[in-house]
Amino acid sequence: MVNRVRLGRRDDGRRRLTWAGPPPLLLLVTVLGLVIAPAVADDPPTAKPAAASLSVSSRTGVAATPRSVEPRIVRQVELLSRGGRTGGTVAPVRPAIDVVGVASLNVLQTQPVSSATADALRLTGRSDVDVVGWQEAQKIGGALHDLPGWTTATFPENGGFSELAVSWRTKKFKFVAARVQDAIAGVGARAGRYPFGSRQIAVVTLEHRASGRRLTVLDAHLPPVIEDLDRPGRWTATQNAEQARKQLRDLVQAWRSVGTRWVVGTGDFNFGVRADLKHRSPGGPVRTLGKVARSTYQVVGTDVRPTYRSLDRSIDYVWVDRDNLRSDRIDVLGQRVLTGYNSDHRPLLAELRFS
């Protein structure tokens, strides 16, 4: 409704000379306020803000982490409308940057190179897969470098390739940095009942081409025979299990050292997810890695095919940084277990929305 202001009126048909403005007392107070206010102002004039610098200091004495330094997306804000009225709740609008398919696959080092290569081509040939963490890929390191439309980070070991590798769709991501760190020593045949080689953790950082934001992928493979299959979700009494617990602790430390906007993990953990979620054994994947991440099983459920066919277990994982989930930088839209591969493992594919 438009409020109209009457500036004057006529009485008894005669025009009278009256003051039509604000009351004189109000004018006097206003003029005095304009004269006195500058003299009593507490705050000096604000200077134009200086351009932001890349160096950051912490007033609390705690060093800023790389992740806190990285630029953040400015989120738009909209007011929710309820029943035609503007509500008081302010809801952030989180524009999705991209939907990224992250997969994990153990290609089984004992299968023929041709079969393992066929698995790699099959997985990377899917349009919904953008990043893959590989395990037991030491025999096909060269083939991974020849995947059409993809780039792969491999790591040298004993004149060949390490078992860990990370591949990404070249049109979507570009390489920033990569390293592999030793995690645990292996157990020899004379020292333990179930020998295995040393284990590493691969850390690969990529840049999302469309946004300039960075993603880090941590890839790992825990030792075999660490879960008691007679008591699922509990550790075996083996050196393998002891070493696996140490590797998980090392993985947490490596995760915390990452400073990119997005962080995910892939790997064969040789520990059944359903039993681990039920018992949450001390030192297990959920209890230990859960300090920094959550598996996609925890977010969207375990109602998928088992990833390890012969024992009907889900031991292959995709992990998402806890802070990313809390801040909605990553949303888990879904996951699926793919079939038709030569390996004894099935790939786990997670659909993640990056913001």
Q: Domain tally for the chain?
A: 1
What pLDDT, on a 0 to 100 scale, did the predictor assign at position 49?
A: 33
> What confidence tens digit (pLDDT) does each residue in 238-296 have?
999 999 999 999 999 999 999 999 999 999 999 999 999 999 999 999 999 999 999 99
Q: Does residue 15 or residue 272 have the better pLDDT? A: 272
Q: Does 305 fall in a domain?
A: yes
Give the residue among 73, 129, 120, 55 at the shortest CA–CA distance from 318. Answer: 129
d(CA 219, CA 217): 6
Residue 326 neighbours by CB distance under 10 Å: 10
Q: Does 114 fall in a domain?
A: yes
**Least confident among 30-39, 283-292, 295-304:** 30-39
Q: Rounded to an integer, what is the distance from CA 26 to the centroid of its chain? A: 60
Signed CA dihedral, 278, 282, 287, 288: sign only: negative
> What confidence tens digit (pLDDT) does each residue in 39-63 have?
433 333 333 333 222 222 222 333 3
Please give the share of the chain, as a percent, with pLDDT higher than 70: 74
Could you tell me if 105 and 119 are in contact, meaning their C-beta atoms sit under 8 angstroms apart?
yes
Could you tell me if 181 and 254 are in contact, meaning their C-beta atoms sit under 8 angstroms apart?
yes
What pLDDT, on a 0 to 100 scale, did the predictor assign at position 24?
A: 56
Could you tell me if 205 and 225 are in contact, meaning their C-beta atoms sit under 8 angstroms apart?
no
Q: Does 121 fall in a domain?
A: yes
Q: Does 27 fall in a domain?
A: no
What pLDDT, on a 0 to 100 scale, did the predictor assign at position 215?
A: 98
Give the residue among 231, 240, 320, 319 at the shortest CA–CA distance from 281. Answer: 231
Give the list of residues 6+ apart from residue 10 with CB closer than 8 angstroms, or none: 16
**What is the average pLDDT across 146-152?**
98
Please give the share of the chain, as a percent, with pLDDT higher than 90: 70
What pLDDT, on a 0 to 100 scale, did the predictor assign at position 65?
A: 42
Q: Does 22 fall in a domain?
A: no
Q: Does 234 fall in a domain?
A: yes
What pLDDT, on a 0 to 100 scale, did the predictor assign at position 61?
A: 33
pLDDT band at 37; cut points 50, 70, 90: very low
Residue 339 reports pLDDT greater than 80: yes
Q: Does 325 fall in a domain?
A: yes
Give the list of residues 6+ apart from residue 41 with CB closer than 8 angstroms, or none: none
CATH number at residue 340: 3.60.10.10
What pLDDT, on a 0 to 100 scale, did the predictor assign at position 46?
A: 35
Q: What is the mean pLDDT of the chain?
A: 81
> What confidence tens digit (pLDDT) does each residue in 95-129 have?
789 999 999 999 999 999 999 999 999 999 999 99
Q: Does 78 fall in a domain?
A: no
What pLDDT, on a 0 to 100 scale, did the predictor assign at position 193?
A: 87
What pLDDT, on a 0 to 100 scale, did the predictor assign at position 40?
A: 37
What pLDDT, on a 0 to 100 scale, did the predictor assign at position 192?
A: 80
Range of the domain at 235: 98-354
Total-model pTM: 0.75
Residue 70 reports pLDDT greater than 60: no
d(CA 116, CA 107): 6
d(CA 258, CA 353): 20
What pLDDT, on a 0 to 100 scale, did the predictor assign at position 27?
A: 53
> What confidence tens digit (pLDDT) does each residue in 190-240 have?
878 899 999 999 999 999 999 999 999 999 999 999 999 999 999 999 999
Residue 342 reports pLDDT greater than 50: yes
What pLDDT, on a 0 to 100 scale, did the predictor assign at position 23?
A: 57
Give the residue among 234, 238, 251 at the shortest CA–CA distance from 184. Answer: 251
